[in-house]
Structure 1
Amino acid sequence: MKERQPIDLYINGQHSDGDSQLSRTIEAPSEEQAAALESATEGELPVYKRTYNPQDTNPKKTLFQNINVKSVLIAVGSAVVIGLCLGFFMLVVMGGFSDDQAGGVSPSTNNANPGSADAGGANDSDKPGTTAFALEPMGAVVLQAGVFTEADNAATIAEQFQRSGIATVKWNKNDQVYLFAGIAQTEEAASALVSEIAPLEVYVKNWETEEGRVDTDSQTKEWLGNLQQKWRESLEHSSKGERINGQEWTSIGKSYPKQDERFDKLHEAVLQSERLNDSASLHQQQAFLIEVWKQLNAAMLQ
């Protein structure tokens, strides 16, 4: 290691002889310096305070802690109220528009075909001048000559019965053709008819139709009620071997209001009562009752 070189010290331009002069200079401050030091230390030093919160420097503090919950609730509540008001306003506007459209519909649509797409989705009871008619469930005991999947086969058997003087009626249901050769109110009465049809083969069968409901005008409703009552009375007379009053049925046919085209085929079947004269056989009367029942059920299902 190299030896340190001596340091030459000059004070006020004069060469100092060593540490004695330096120490004397440092240890003996001037009067001005002493006065300044004394005045600077007089009095108490001001104290500066600062509040320290450890949470301010917590690194785990998330963004959601700075959210004002009250402001958020007020904003959400305001949005909900505004949405409800706008929704109610739109309902009122659209409802008024629909009412205006409904008011312009022609009254002739009351007689529209219920099988169409528009009638199928609408409630006819809402139309002016219509009333509901409820058809009670109907049931009887029939003489079944067969059940067929092909209409031609049913027609072949019907011709065999026709040659023997037995009138038959074809009734389509569930993609099958039922061939009926008689009708009675009870099974006992139906069994008695079987012996009259022999040697043709038939089966005694309970046949029922469900309750139906249709909306139509008041005159057609009254006409349907009278027709159903007359049908029950005629079935009772026929089951007892009595003749059906054809004139009363003809009167019902002539009183048809012709205001609801859904029942036109039923009306045509009723008009066949003109053939129920004194020469009509009991089988012809029964076939008439079956045909009226079939057309009534078909009209109610439309």
Structure 2
Amino acid sequence: MDKRKTIIVWMDGKKTKVSKNDTKNNPMQSTYTNTEQAAAQESNNEIDPIPTYIRQNSLEEEAAFKKGKGNKNKLIKHIFIATMTAVLLGVGLGIFMLNMFTNIDANEVNGKIGSTGETTGANKGVTATDQATYTLKGLQAFVLQAGLFNDEANVAVVQNKFNDAGIQTMVWKRDDQYYLFANIAQAKDQTDDEKAAYKASDLETYAKKWTTTETNVTITDAEYNWLQNFHNLWNASLEKVSADQSLPSTKWEDWIASYPENAKNTAEFYQAVKENQSSISEASKESAPIVLLNIWNQFDQLVLK
């Protein structure tokens, strides 16, 4: 007796028993059954929701995330520090450069190079020993030139003619040439009267501008102050001479007496002027221009050279 195995399936929502042999013998029934099973399976799939899976980070991934975030914060911090450092350095450098150029400008105004000390004028008995490089201004005036010679012997010939006429002159040597000067004044037109007087004695002269350029000298503060006072006194004396007045001899005596103690760089000039102190005190209106020219020449030869 054959035992038939019964298979229970669901068709159209109803429970149905199907024999296994019947399925084999009836292909259509088998196909229908398989189709119904597939449909039922698909229907169940549509009814059952697809589960949602939530991905959780592992400890390694979370650590890597935190590490990346920390590196980013460190990078921002480094950039901020570098930026602030650059700003502070720039501001500091700017202030330093401003102070440096301000000091340079202030020194140039005072006529002093390479030193930040201020000059306050010459005082008797000043004993400064520190030296620095200073800029000494040049002097200028209009002179009455009586001749220009290459040979000193020829200068003497013309100079004697002026001496015979009672007119004093002086010789200024420059660039291996000899200039013979008879007078000096602030302006060219202030020499017209003297020029006319010389011409009346058959002595030819002509007015020309004469200058000595500024130069840098290494001296002490006290010596620089003393020379600055000389510069002012000489210009004041030139103004007197140009107005047919005598030299301010008292001021010259005070200036000579104010020479700094232990000064060495300007000692030759000081000695030369001191030896001519009597000439300054005794100078007349006629001789004053030549005295002033001689002092100027000594300043040029002993200080500016």
Tell whether the 8 Å contact from 1:135 to 1:212 is kept in structure 2 after alignment: yes
Structure 1 equivalent of residue 85 of structure 2: none
Alignment of 1:120-269 (within 5 A): 129-198=130-199, 199=201, 200-257=203-260, 259-265=263-269, 267-269=271-273
Q: Over the residues paired in the alignment, what is the CA RMSD in angstroms?
A: 2.3
How much does 1:273 deviate?
3.6
CA distance in structure 1 between the aligned counterparts of 2:258 and 2:164, rounded to whole angstroms = 35
**Which of 229, 250, 272 lines up with 2:276 in the alignment?**
272
What does the per-residue CA deviation read over 1:36-62, in whole Å, with 9 as the maximum and x for residues that have no partner? xxxxxxxxxxxxxxxxxxxxxxxxxxx
Q: Does structure 2 retain, via aligned residues, the 8 Å contact 1:266–1:296?
A: no
Unaligned 5+ runs, structure 1: 1-122
Alpha-carbon distance in 2 for matches of 1:155, 1:124: 45
Would you say the 8 A contact 1:269–1:292 is kept in 2?
yes
Going from structure 1 to structure 2, the CA distance change for 1:266 and 1:140 (only over 3 Å counts) comes to farther
* Unaligned stretches of 5+ residues in structure 2: 1-112, 116-128
CA distance in 2, matches of 1:296, 1:186: 21
Q: 1:194-239, CA deviations, whole angstroms, 9 ceiling, x for partnerless residues?
A: 1233322111111111111101012211110111100000101111
Is 2:272–2:298's contact at 8 Å kept on the other side of the alignment?
Answer: no
Distance in 1 between residues matched to 2:219 and 2:274, nearest whole Å = 19
1:301 and 1:243, CA in 2 relative to 1: closer, same or farther beyond 3 A? closer
Q: What secondary structure is seen at the aligned counterpart in 1 of 2:204?
A: coil
Q: Work out the number of aligned pairs and report it.
A: 177
Superposition TM-score, scaled by structure 2 size: 0.53
Contact 2:279 2:291 in 1 (8 A): no
Q: Is the 8 A contact 1:250 1:271 kept in 2?
A: no
Structure 1 residues 266 and 195 mapped into 2: Cα distance closer, same or farther (>3 Å)?
farther
Deviation per residue, 1:67-114 (Å, 9 max, x gap): xxxxxxxxxxxxxxxxxxxxxxxxxxxxxxxxxxxxxxxxxxxxxxxx
Distance 1:133 1:164, change over 3 A: farther
Secondary structure of 1:216's aligned partner: strand
State the Cα distance separating 1:295 from its structure 2 match. 1.4
Using a 3 Å threshold, how does the CA distance of structure 1 residues 133 and 165 change in structure 2: closer, same or farther?
farther
Contact 1:144 1:203 in 2 (8 A): yes
Residues 154-210 of structure 1: CA deviation (Å, up to 9, x unaligned): 122222222322221111111100011100000110112212333221111111111
Asked if the contact 1:269–1:291 (Cα under 8 Å) also holds between the matched residues in 2, the reply is no
Using the alignment, how far apart are the partners of 1:171 and 1:266 within structure 2? 19
Percent identical among aligned pairs is 29
TM-score (norm: length of structure 1): 0.54
Distance 2:135 2:297 in 1: 17
Deviation at 1:263, TM superposition (A): 4.5
